[in-house]
Structure 1
């Protein structure tokens, strides 16, 4: 992977657009990225990582999106990062823009634009760029696949943070394991450990569950066997549990079958005894029935003998009733004729009582003639009746005209009274509508003024708050400037004192017989001595660190002060100099006026509705007035016509009704007279007819009674029986005959006579014997069924246990195999002598490769003194595999890397970082890394060690690599000519390239 160009806009501390030509910087092989603390050196590397992966490294990642935007950028400038690079032989260009909250193009407020990403590839044949994708996901997958590294690996391999590797050298095995796990992605091995452990727990649970189910079935078998089964004293998971359960089940089945055979024999004997008892009970009950039957027949014969006289009387009474039945039709006929004659005579009397005195004694013919004459007169009144009905209609119609006239007069009066005040009413309603409209317009105007007033008030309050914060930040900036100046003065003083006493430090390293590093002499007659106020290198470094921290704090305070001043200026420009209290009072007055106008405008719809209803009412009143006038004119002619027709009809009706008050009354009189005459004539004829039929019925009844043998018709009537009495006598006669026949039959039966001659039967004793035999059969059957169920249940449970044993056998084998594998990968098995987990084993192999790759560079940096070696030794109670030691060639001793000094730790961590880059590159598929960055740490090196480190870094050019050093050490600017400088200012940082031709 080689970087060509980086374009940054509104990113981090860079408020504008900046470009980095990596091709020009890489031409020298080694280039320097420097600038003051907080200028943005690391932000350049963040931009490279963000372009590739859409995220910045490590802890600087933050919330993403809006946090990447520069505080110095103009509001209309969008944050953008474009990276031109070559990877896997392909020239690509990646552009990323994070989410952007910008001002709306229309109206007020802001809107959020989504993040955007472009990926283009250079087409050498076409001589231009072609678009590949605009999808975040597709571009991320493409870049990750081409690089073969995750973001964490890239940040460790390409962006070499020395502080991380220094901590790696001093870290314990646990921390090293976490870092190496992220770089080499050994999660799959940890996942294998986890899966094996889970599988071991799962199979163990299955085996225990299977054994528990096996023991549960054994307990069920013990319950089914009636506690005649001994259970094995083993727990789930114990060996031999299955065989013990199978053996106990076999013994229980054999015992149950023996008990079943005994129960079957007992049941057969009980059933034979019950059959004999049932036969004896049946014979006893039959003899008892026949004996009781004979006794009952003798008692019934005695009762028949006692009722013989009453039976003969019933027979005679039945005979007379049968004779009287021949006279019954004549009796019924005569009774019916007499009843009909009485009814007809009563009806004639009532009808004649209603007739006038001249016709009260007239015959039927005279009454009929009088009824005909009255009907003829009634027919002549039909025309007069129609005229009378028409006259009533005329009177009703005239009354209706009068009512309409009164109603129209009321309508006209009401309409005239309402219309008299119409103009005044319409004017008042129109004024209400106009007033509500004006209030609505004023409400809209006030609403438009309200939001700017509110914003101005917020700005004024923000202005007042920022003024206090700005003054406070100014004080802190001045104080931090004084502290930074004091720290710088102290550092320079200590540095000067150390330079003055540097001879003492050199003299401390002199050894008799060894050449001096300055003059080369092997004799040291008067080496310099350290005085009481000597300043060593550690004191100078602490002073420098204090100065750097103070300078960083001062820059942070200045940046905060500048930001607050800008915010204060913006708030003042928006709010002006008006006090916030006055703006709040004006806003409250504006809100009150707006509320009043809005309240007045809320009645606009109601006022318009009232005006519309009033106009509609006006139209209705005018129309009603006009229609009432038309109806009044039409009624005058109609009333005249009705008057003329009424006079004609009254003259005609006077002639037709005579002395009656009306024609209808006269017609009613005639109808009543015709009806009474007709009824009286019919009643007279009916009475004459019924009298003739009664006389004939008397003659027929006397003849029938004589022929039936009765002296008088009354004697025949007395001998008659009604249906209920007849049925009762017949029932008594039939019951006597049936009872007599039944008694004779029973007394003649041979079996009954034979049983009566035997001793009385003892049914209770026979029933007791049969019940006892049945009880014994039920007990034997219950015992047989219980034994049968016991055998079936034991067979079922035995088959279930056998199936469980067969099913658990491969599962138990699998658990043993998985448990061995899980213990081996987890480092807990006895076979794993070093107690190394699988992931630790893989990481140990990777660490061994990294140590070998780093040792070559470390030996050169340390002039052959130090070598990094990997150690598998265990530390304390922990597990082995991730130990890292350094071999000191001067002493020949091997010690832990945590014992290295500050400068030794730097070049050891640098060597480790370069070695790790080589190993991770090979692990990622051999992707060539042509551009590397080293971040800080050079300030802790002396001149000789710095030259050796730079020689090692310069040697990377042998493989056409370029290395960028990120540092603010002043000496490096003299040694490295190709430089990228970050210059910070109040409007943001800018980039300058030097020494690139």
Structure 2
């Protein structure tokens, strides 16, 4: 890899764009990068690393590092552009980190995403040198903008990681000086990163995991066996047979654990079977004793029960005889209740009649109270009484118009009150549901009503409201009819009142029309006054719509190109994903083709190694050999193990060719997608799809707004037409309103005269009421109250009649049932539930008497009563003792059987587990030996060297050999670096030791004993040797540009000359070496220089070539 040009903008200390021409600096093969401290020498190397890998070297990547220069202008983006050659390809990579930038709209800052662009230079002629200048004929072709894809591409081109690049290209001498003095652990970490030996460490870890897993499986199996042993110990219990055989307690994983457990289980099973046989004999003897005791206890309990039954029957018979008088009285009470059941319907009928009578009286009192509460109704009723003709009262003259009821009659007030006095009698009463007594209130009210009907007159000066409170239903009905007759006489007056209201409404309507016409005339005049301004406004609206038409045409022409760019941006994003997939497919195809090629080459090499056997297979006795021509073949070659013939090689070659075709097809697909992606990127002009979508939406919104405004042209012209029509309409409207006003004046005068006549007539008809309608409503309400009171009076009379009939029926029913009075019949009535309870008590007494007699006459009970008293407690105690004894021996027998079954099952399970555990233990021993060997902890590993350390030791040996070639030159043949695999002492490990051999003394010593200058020479040699080895390890990528950072100040002049000679030897192999140093003598020795100068506006770079120097 060779660097050509570097351009940094707003990066690190560089505020403005700074360009570095490595081709110009590399003309002499060696150049110096110098400048004051903090100027930015290391930032140049950071820019190179950032361009290639998107990250800066080492620890500078972290700690919140910002790549953007504080000296840069806000609108200047941070950018690094590097042009370099890798292999046969000349490339240019541009990177922009994520950085703030001013917002395009509004104020403030926004974060801009990181951007990467990779381009490749394609010369015009095939013979053009790819390592020459790219400014001649040819063109740059964009390869990708994807961070991930470019990162993978750079990894394939360079063949090394960022850490490796920073060690072999940007040679940090301080790091290698520390490497010389570091212990083996630190060296192992650095070498592991550089040579990617993580897979060997993964093998160690995998073996350790397998060992831990095997240990866990074996320990789990042993723990299961020990658990089974403990369960067998619990099942066996503490017995004398096991006193000499304690339960084994080995540690899980200890050899012989399974045999110890199985041996102890056999002893436990034998003792358990013996104890089971002894328990079975004891059970049989206890069962016989238990049966005999149980039979004796049952017989004793039976005799005691019969004796108890006899005593209980005797006691119950005596108690029932003492209760006989009470049961006789209960039987008599039940007989009277049965006789009173015939009177119950009459009692219920009389109770219902009394309840209905009370309800009717309450309703009548409420209706008469409303009559007396109605204002003026009592006085009107007296007038009606005077006006109703009878044999003793002449007819009253007709009422004059305008009075509510007749104001006077032929009778005087004293005679009128005497006529209704007979209705004022006192109300008699009785309790609800009481038996018939004195005359009821219905009878008293009937006598009063008869007095009113007969024409008796109340004395002068009595209360007029008593008429309404005591009048009968017939008289109230006659008053109602007279009121309704007067209500009918008001019909014509009510129609006149309605007409008067209609006339008033019509006059109001005419007045409303007059006001509406006045308002219309005023509105039309006001509207017509602004007609000229309205007409000009419509004209301006039409002109604005025409301007919007022109604007819409312009915006419409911009929409299609914007849509094409948006579609291209979306296609670009979609193709980016497809290109990534194609790239992954290409990587897989490349790996498959490489594997197929390697397989073919391996088979070809194997065939060549066994070609003698293949040729010998065609030898025939007496025929010449195709190689030597001899006809005798004493020792022809024989095919060895794994011999490869021609067919296998050709099959592998065909597989490789097919894999290569797949790779080429994948590469063509990837290239086609890449070109399509680049074309879409060019069409989208590098804009983000979201930004284009937003811009297109704004353009469409503006176009829609302009189009809506243009569409208003037709509406504007239509509005002008409507306005002109409105002008004509309002002019005609004003003329028509003036004509209607003249006709309306005559009609209003006619209505006023009609209204005056109607009001005079109504004044006479409404009397004392405000209106005829109010008078009619009052008469309607009074008629309703009179009708309701008359109906309530008739209902009260009917209820009183039914109550009298119910009293008569009750008295007759009591007599027929044998009771002297209804009160006696009512007292004898018992509810059905009490009758049922009395019958139940009588039946129960009879049943208990019969049962007690039957019990006393039973033969078995009599025989038991004559026998001696039984003692069931003593008999049961003996039976319980036998039961306990049987239970104890049965429990012992069951426990013995369970113990045998459990021990048999657990023993079988232990045998099965021991068989399953045997192969696991063998596998664990094998894996443990292999893991210990790889981890360096096995006794078979004499040097205690880990597998990864063993691989790194081989790499370190290569690095030491490559470094020694340069160190011997720089030290005038004195020092040689060698790898040492000796153990570091004590229990330490070996494998990564590094010593130096001093040719002057012939001794070998540690590199930590070197002086400062010697350490620099050794570290430089080590760095160059490491670069060579890592380069070979990475696939042989040639590194044509190297940087050496600091350390030259510790060298004397002679050693510096020797070091410069070594660096010159690198130049002879067409390498370019850049030295980063403060040493002033180097500025004299090295003519090609790149100086970094710092200033207030940021740092800058200055070139100084060999010719200028």
Alignment of 1:435-834 (within 5 A): 645=762, 647-650=764-767, 742=851, 745-746=854-855, 749-752=858-861, 754-756=863-865, 758-791=867-900, 793-795=902-904, 797-798=906-907, 801-802=910-911, 804-806=913-915, 808-834=917-943
Please name the residue that 1:91 is paired with.
90
C-alpha distance in 2 between matches for 1:40 and 1:664? 115
Please name the residue that 1:280 is paired with.
296
Deviations 1:800-853 (A, max 9, x none): 545554554444444434433343333332222122233322222111111112
Please name the residue that 1:524 is paired with.
none
C-alpha distance in 2 between matches for 1:778 and 1:49? 93
C-alpha distance in 2 between matches for 1:6 and 1:859? 36
Please name the residue that 1:183 is paired with.
194
Q: Secondary structure at the match of 1:380?
A: helix
Q: Secondary structure at the match of 1:235?
A: coil
Q: 1:235 and 2:235 equivalent? A: no
C-alpha distance in 2 between matches for 1:984 and 1:311? 138
Q: Which moved more, 1:666-675 or 1:246-255?
A: 666-675
C-alpha distance in 2 between matches for 1:226 and 1:256? 9
Shift of 1:131: 1.7
Retained in 1: the 8 A contact 2:226–2:249?
no
Retained in 1: the 8 A contact 2:11–2:67?
no
Distance 1:289 1:94, change over 3 A: same
Please name the residue that 2:1010 is paired with.
900
Please name the residue that 2:448 is paired with.
354
Retained in 1: the 8 A contact 2:956–2:979?
yes
Shift of 1:897: 2.7
C-alpha distance in 2 between matches for 1:767 and 1:736? 37
C-alpha distance in 2 between matches for 1:313 and 1:934? 138
Please name the residue that 2:235 is paired with.
224
C-alpha distance in 2 between matches for 1:379 and 1:301? 85
Q: 1:994 and 2:1005 equivalent? A: no
Please name the residue that 1:861 is paired with.
970
Q: Secondary structure at the match of 2:230?
A: helix
Q: Secondary structure at the match of 1:873?
A: coil
C-alpha distance in 2 between matches for 1:105 and 1:692? 114
Distance 1:802 1:372, change over 3 A: same
Q: Secondary structure at the match of 1:246?
A: helix
Q: Which has the higher contact order (CA 8 A, sep 6+)?
A: 1
Shift of 1:184: 1.9
C-alpha distance in 2 between matches for 1:932 and 1:34? 12
Distance 1:695 1:152, change over 3 A: closer
Deviations 1:904-959 (A, max 9, x none): 43333332222211111111122222222333444555555545444443334564
Deviations 1:518-574 (A, max 9, x none): xxxxxxxxxxxxxxxxxxxxxxxxxxxxxxxxxxxxxxxxxxxxxxxxxxxxxxxxx
Q: 1:44 and 2:47 equivalent? A: no
C-alpha distance in 2 between matches for 1:382 and 1:831? 138
Q: 1:55 and 2:55 equivalent? A: yes
Distance 1:353 1:934, change over 3 A: same
Shift of 1:212: 4.4
C-alpha distance in 2 between matches for 1:910 and 1:281? 114
Shift of 1:857: 2.6
Residue number among 231, 237, 245 corresponding to 2:261 in the alignment: 245
Residue number among 1004, 1028, 1037 corresponding to 1:927 in the alignment: 1037
Retained in 2: the 8 A contact 1:218–1:245?
yes
Q: Secondary structure at the match of 2:290?
A: helix
Retained in 2: the 8 A contact 1:844–1:881?
yes
Retained in 2: the 8 A contact 1:939–1:969?
yes
Q: Which moved more, 1:830-839 or 1:346-355?
A: 346-355
Q: Which runs of 5+ in 1 are unaligned?
A: 363-368, 402-633, 654-660, 706-711
C-alpha distance in 2 between matches for 1:301 and 1:766? 32
Please name the residue that 2:427 is paired with.
none
Retained in 1: the 8 A contact 2:6–2:48?
yes
C-alpha distance in 2 between matches for 1:682 and 1:112? 102
C-alpha distance in 1 between matches for 2:1061 and 2:188? 31
Distance 1:676 1:775, change over 3 A: same
Q: 1:119 and 2:118 equivalent? A: yes
Q: 1:162 and 2:173 equivalent? A: yes
Shift of 1:167: 3.4
C-alpha distance in 2 between matches for 1:283 and 1:969? 129
Distance 1:882 1:353, change over 3 A: same
Please name the residue that 2:6 is paired with.
6
Deviations 1:95-122 (A, max 9, x none): 1223444455666554443332211122
Q: Structure 2 length as normaliser, TM-score? A: 0.55
Retained in 2: the 8 A contact 1:270–1:777?
yes
Q: Secondary structure at the match of 2:1036?
A: coil
Retained in 1: the 8 A contact 2:983–2:991?
yes
Distance 1:644 1:810, change over 3 A: farther
Distance 1:286 1:646, change over 3 A: farther
Q: Which moved more, 1:50-59 or 1:73-82?
A: 73-82
Please name the residue that 2:996 is paired with.
886
Q: Secondary structure at the match of 1:160?
A: strand
Distance 1:297 1:887, change over 3 A: closer
C-alpha distance in 1 between matches for 2:1014 and 2:229? 72
Retained in 2: the 8 A contact 1:824–1:831?
yes
Q: Secondary structure at the match of 1:830?
A: coil
Alignment of 1:914-953 (within 5 A): 914-941=1024-1051, 945-953=1055-1063
Q: Secondary structure at the match of 2:66?
A: helix
Q: 1:142 and 2:157 equivalent? A: no
Q: Structure 1 length as normaliser, TM-score? A: 0.61
Distance 1:196 1:641, change over 3 A: farther
Q: Which moved more, 1:665-674 or 1:8-17?
A: 665-674
Please name the residue that 1:21 is paired with.
21
C-alpha distance in 1 between matches for 2:810 and 2:953? 145
Distance 1:83 1:803, change over 3 A: farther
C-alpha distance in 1 between matches for 2:175 and 2:274? 83
C-alpha distance in 1 between matches for 2:74 and 2:787? 117
Please name the residue that 1:982 is paired with.
1091
Shift of 1:37: 3.5
Q: Which moved more, 1:916-925 or 1:162-171?
A: 162-171
Distance 1:932 1:769, change over 3 A: same
Q: Secondary structure at the match of 2:994?
A: strand
Q: Secondary structure at the match of 2:20?
A: strand
C-alpha distance in 2 between matches for 1:835 and 1:984? 54
Q: Which runs of 5+ in 2 are unaligned?
A: 126-137, 351-432, 457-470, 505-750, 771-777
Deviations 1:305-330 (A, max 9, x none): 9999x799999x989979x9999979
Shift of 1:692: 9.8
C-alpha distance in 1 between matches for 2:195 and 2:1024? 15
Retained in 1: the 8 A contact 2:346–2:809?
no
Q: Secondary structure at the match of 1:894?
A: strand
CA RMSD between the two structures:
5.5
